[in-house]
Amino acid sequence: MRFLTKILLFSFFLILTETYSQQKIRLSVKVDSTSSILKVNQTVIFTNSSQKSLSEIIVNDWNQAYSNRKTNLGKRLSDEYVRSFHLSRERERGNTTINSVTVNETISTWERLENKTDLISIKLDKKLLPGESINIEFDYILKIPEDKFTRYGYNKGNFYLKDFFLNIARLNDNGKFVEYSNENIDDSSNEIIDFIAAEFTIPKKYSIASNLIQKNEEINSVKTITFEGSNITDYTFAIEPKNTFESYSNDTMQIETNLRVNKVTEIQKAIIIDKVIKFIEGYLGNSQNSKIMVSQIDYDRNPLYGLNQLPSFLSPFPNSFLYELEFLKAYSNNFLKQNLKIDYRKDHYVIDAIQTYLLIDYINEFYPDLDLIGNIGKIRLLKGFQLSKAKFNKQYEIVYLLTARKNLDQNLDESKENLIKFNERISSKYKAGLSFQYLNKYLGENIVVNSFKEFTQSNINKKTTSNQFEEIILKNAKQDVNWFFNNIIKSKTSVNYGFGKSEKLNDSIKIQIVNKSKNDVPITLSGFKKRKLVFEKWLPNIKTDSTLIFNKNEIDKLVINNDNSLLEINNRNNLKSLKGPFSLNRPLKFTLIKDIENRNYSQIFYYPEIAYNVYDGAILSLKFNNRSLIEKPFSIDLAPSFSTRTSSLTGDASVGYTQQRPNSKLYQIRYSLSGSYFHYVQDATYLRLNPFISFRFRDPDLRKNFRHTITLRQVVVNKEPNPLKIIETTPLNYSVFDVRYGFGNNETAKSYGLSSNVQLSGKFGKFIIEGGYSKLFESNYQIGVRVYAGTFMYKKTDTDYFNFGLDRPKDYLFDYNFYGRSETSGLFSQQIIIAEGGFKSKFVNPYANQWLTSLNVTSSVWKSIQLYGDAGLYKNKGFDSKFVYDSGVQVNLVPGYFELFFPVYSSNGFELGQKNYQEKIRFTVTLSPRTLISLFTRKWF
C-alpha cells in the first residue's frame, strides 16, 4: 500500500510539471524522536519563472544557521543579549548534513555561500532558460536544534518544524535569487511552492499537525502520514507524542490550533474562531488555502504585548477575550503570510500595516468601549489616572512613542534585518497600522480597507511587492497621496505640528501653524466653543509655517490633530486657548506616581521615596517630576527630603533638556543642571551643583551597539566644616571642570569600552584613562579586564583630598552613591565602588599624589563565583613608586548590583589567616531602578 501511494504521488507530481510553475516538492521524512534527527529524501521540480537564464540555484538551508555561534543567526542573538545560544553545547544546536545532490539524475556540485552558511549554491552544467524546468533530488539529515533559542525546534520529544527543510530561494523577475540568512525574524524567503507532498514516518504514539492537508495515515510497526498542499511559501509541522492540537471548521476554513487559555470552553472557542474568520474574510476576502494552523508557538513569538500578558490571576480581561485576542493576532498573521507571496524581509511593512489595521478595527467594531487596563480601571483609586480613561487601542500610539521619543524610530520600509528588536517585533508594526488608519480617515469611503482586499485577492496566486500595493492605493485614492509614502512610509523624520504666534485683530485672531519637523503631511484643525466641536477641517500639506484667521467669538479653543489619528512625536503643543491673556493652554495637574501623557494638562507626578545614608539616616522624600511613562525632551525633578537622623531638610533637584537629532551621527545632545544637598559626615552638609552638556554619537545602523560620548561639566562643591575635626584640612569650597570622551561596544560574546577625561581646577589638574574588556567564551568561561591610569598634570595644594585612591576613591566630585562616604571603620567603610584603583583589599595609606596605574582581572569559576586579581603601581612625591597586588574570591549574588569580595592573598599577606577577617570583606550594592531596567531594555533597544 505504501509503495502504491508513493507511485501515485510521484505520477501526480509528473503530471503537474506540464503546467508552468515555480516549484513542486516531494518530501519523505523519517523521524528519530530520541535523537532529534530527521532523515530526508526530497525531490524538487523547479521552473525558471524569471526573464533571465540561470547558471545556479540558491537553496535555503536555514537549519544550518543553528550550527555555530558565528552564523548570522548567532551574531544577531549575541547582539540582543540572548546568552542561551552563545553558551549552548554542540548537541543542543542544529545542523544539516547533505549526503547528495542530483540535478536531472546527475550528481551535482554544491557549496555554502561565504558568510551565509545557511544558503547553498548549486552550480548548473548548462543554463536554465526562462520557462524551463529541472529535477533536483536531495538526500540529507537534519539535526534539529533545541527550541530554547527561537521556540522552533526540538524539546523533550516534541518537534516544531518551520523553515527547517531545504527550499529553493525566492526568485525575482530579474533572474536574481534572494539571499537571506535565517536571522530569527519570521521572514522566510522561499520560492512559491505550487504543490507539495510530504510523507512522515514516525513512532506509533506520535501525531502531526500541519498547515498542509492530511491525506492518509497508515499504522503498522510505525505510523506513516502523508500531507499535501498547494500555492504556499511556508509549511509547518508540529510532531508530538501527545497531540495538543484541536481542529475547528466552518464553511470556508479548517483551523488546527493549540492556543492555551484557561477556562475557555470548546463552544466558546468555536464561536470565537468562527467570528474571527468571518471578520478577516470580510476585510480581505477568502483564503486561497482552506486550512490554516494557529499554534501557541506562533503566538508566543509574536504576542500582543501589554496587560493581556499578565498572569491569569492578575489579568484585567476575561479569559475568553484573551483567547479571542490571541487567536486574532496569530490567525491574521498566518492568513496574510499564507496568502500573500511577498518578500517578507524587504516589504514587511505591508503585512504589518494590514494586520495591525485589522487588530485596531476589530476592537473598534466589537469592543469600542473597552478600556486599556480593562477591569483594573474600575478601582476607585485609579479613576483619576489618564491610564484608566484610555481606550484599548491607545496602546498602539503609546508603544510607538516609546521608541520615537528615544530617537530610535526607523523607516517603515527599512529592511527587516536592520530593525532593532523592539521595532521589528512591536513598534514598526504599530506605526504601520496607525499610519494607514490615518490615511483612511483622510481619504474617506474606506478606500484603504478596500485597497487591502483588492491587493490580497489580486495577488493570492503570484509573487507581489510593496510597489504593487502602493500602486493600488494610489489608483483608488481620489487625490494625490504620494506624500504619504514619501513622508511617512519611507521617512523616519517624525511629524510635529504646533501653534506659533497669535495676534488679535478686532473680532478676529490671527494664529500661526508651525511645522516643527519640516515633514509635511495633511493635518486636521478643530475649533471648539465651550467644549463643543464647532468645526473640523483638513489643512493641506504645510511645508513651512502658515497663518490662519478665525472669528474669536465663534470659538474659544483650537486643536491640531484632535483625535491623534496622525502620529506626532509631540502633541502637547497642539492646543491653543483663545479665552484671553490669562488663560492656560494646559493647566497644571498633579498625579500620584506615574501616568500616560495627557496633552490637555501640564502634568506633575509626585510619589514618596525612601533612601539611606549613615549621616542622614532614613531620607524621606516627596519627589515631583514631569516625566510620564514616555520620555519628554524637557524634564524637571524636585525631591525635597527630610533626614531622620538630623531632623533637617535636605534634597536634590535637576532640570534637563534632551535634543534628539534624527538622521545624524550626533544623535543626541543633553543639557542639564542638577544640585544636591545632603550630609557627608555627621552634622555637616555639602551642596553640589553640576551643570553639564553631553554629545552622544552612534552609527546610522541602529543595530550596531557601538556608541561614543563627549561630556563637559562643571562640578561646584560647598561643604560645611567637619565638626569632628579640630583643624579642618580638607578643602570646603572648590570647583572642577571635567571633560570626558568615551566609546564602547556591548554584546553577549564580548564588550569593551575606553574613556579618557581631564579634570581642571585652580588647585589641581588630572589626566585619566580607563578601559575595560570582557569576553564570554563558548565554554561559559568569562574573563574581564579593567585598566586604569591617572596622573596629576599639576597640583597646587598639599591636601590629600584630591589624591588617587587604590581601594576607595576620595569622591570629591560626589559622583558615587556611598552610604558612608567618610567612614574609616565599620560595615559602611567596607562598601566598594570599582573606580580608580579598583582594589578589593584595604591598604594602609592607599592614596597617590603623583600618579597611579592599576590592572583588575576577573575570571569565572562556577556560576556566580569568580576569582579576581588586582595589580598596580602608584607614586607619591618624594617616594619611590610602589607595587601592590591582591587576589580573592568574588560572589555575584546579583551581578552588578549585589556582590561580595573575599580577599585571600595580597601585599598585606595571607588575609584569610589574619585577625578580624570579617572586616576585610568588601561589598557593592546598587539599588538604582534605572540600572535594573537597563538589563531588560538592552535586549530590545
Per-residue cell: 465: 511587492
Average pLDDT over residues 734-755: 94
Strand partners, 558: 527, 576
pLDDT tens digits, one per residue of 151-164: 999 999 999 999 99
Query: Are residues 627 and 713 both part of a single domain?
Result: yes
**Is residue 755 domain-shared with residue 627, that is, in the same domain?**
no
Residue positions counted in the chain: 941
Positive or negative, the CA dihedral 758, 759, 764, 770 is: negative
- For 576, the domain range is 497-583
Give the global pTM.
Answer: 0.91
Does residue 184 contact residue 148 with C-beta atoms inside 8 Å? no
The CA-to-CA distance between both ends of the chain, in Å, stands at 56
Write phi, then psi, for 480 (nearest 5 degrees).
Answer: -70, 125
Half-sphere exposure of 257 (CA within 13 A, CB side): 25
Contacts of 582 (CB under 8 A, 6+ apart): none
Same domain membership, residue 185 and residue 103: yes
Q: Are residues 751 and 729 in the same domain?
A: no
Measure the CA–CA gap between 28 and 7, rounded to whole angstroms: 13
Task: Give the end of a domain, one of 550, 583, 616.
Answer: 583
804 close to 836: Cβ distance less than 8 angstroms: yes
3-class secondary structure, 16: helix
Q: Is residue 558 part of a domain?
A: yes
What CATH number has the domain bearing residue 526? 2.60.40.10
Last residue of a domain, one of 226, 242, 258: 242
Burial 784-808 (b: 16+ CB within 10 A, else e): bebbbbbbbeebeeeebebbbbbbb
If asked whether residues 675 and 566 sit together in one domain, one would say no
Say yes or no to pLDDT of 98 above 60.
Answer: yes
The model's pLDDT over 750-776, given as tens digits with 9 standing for 90+, comes to 899 999 999 999 999 999 999 999 998
In a domain, 270, yes or no: no
* Domain-located, residue 340: no
**Grid-cell match 492578575, residue found:** 314
For residue 546, what is the enclosing H or E element? strand 546-551
Query: What is the per-residue pLDDT for 893?
Result: 83
- Answer whether residue 929 is part of any domain: yes
On whether both 712 and 755 belong to a single domain, the answer is: no
Residue 313, in any domain of the structure:
no
Three cell numbers at 782? Answer: 568569562
Q: What is the mean pLDDT of residues 389-407?
A: 92
Task: Output the nine-digit C-alpha cell for 935.
Answer: 538589563
Segment 791-844, tens digit of pLDDT: 999 999 999 999 999 999 999 999 999 999 999 999 999 999 999 999 999 999
Estimate to the nearest angstrom the gap between the alpha carbon of 458 and the chain centroid: 34
Distance CA 223, CA 203 (A): 6
Quick one: 78 and 170 in the same domain? yes
Q: Per residue in 162-219, pLDDT tens?
A: 999 999 999 998 999 999 999 999 998 999 999 999 999 999 999 999 999 999 999 9
φ, ψ of residue 434 to 5 degrees: the values are: -65, -35
pLDDT of amino acid 313: 63
Is 820 contained in some domain? yes
**Same domain, yes or no, for 523 and 621?**
no
- What confidence tier does 927 reach under pLDDT thresholds 50, 70, 90? low
Same domain (yes/no): 401, 526: no
pLDDT given at position 727: 85
Cβ burial of 174 (10 Å; 0-12, 13-18, 19+) is: exposed
- Answer yes or no: are the C-beta atoms of 554 and 578 closer than 8 Å: no
Q: Tell whether the model's pLDDT for residue 2 goes beyond 60.
A: no
Per residue in 546-570, pLDDT tens? 888 888 889 989 999 999 999 999 9
What total number of domains does the chain contain?
5
Asked if residue 476 and residue 550 are part of one domain, the reply reads no
Q: Give 787-813 as a DSSP string.
A: EEEEEEEEE----STT-EESSS---TT
Residue 611 lies in a domain: yes
Averaged pLDDT of the chain: 91
CA–CA distance, 354 with 344 (Å, rounded to integer) = 13
H or E element, residue 95 = strand 95-103
**Which of 60-74, 506-520, 571-585 shows the highest mean pLDDT?**
60-74
Over 50: is that where the pLDDT of 262 sits?
yes
Same domain assignment for residues 13 and 147: yes
CATH code of 89's domain:
2.60.40.1730
Claim to verify: residue 596 and residue 630 sit in the same structural domain: yes
> Pick from 740, 761, 796: which residue ends a domain?
740
CB neighbour class for 297 (10 Å; exposed up to 12, middle 13-18, buried from 19) = middle
Q: Report if residue 736 sits inside a domain.
A: yes
Cell of 474: 494610489
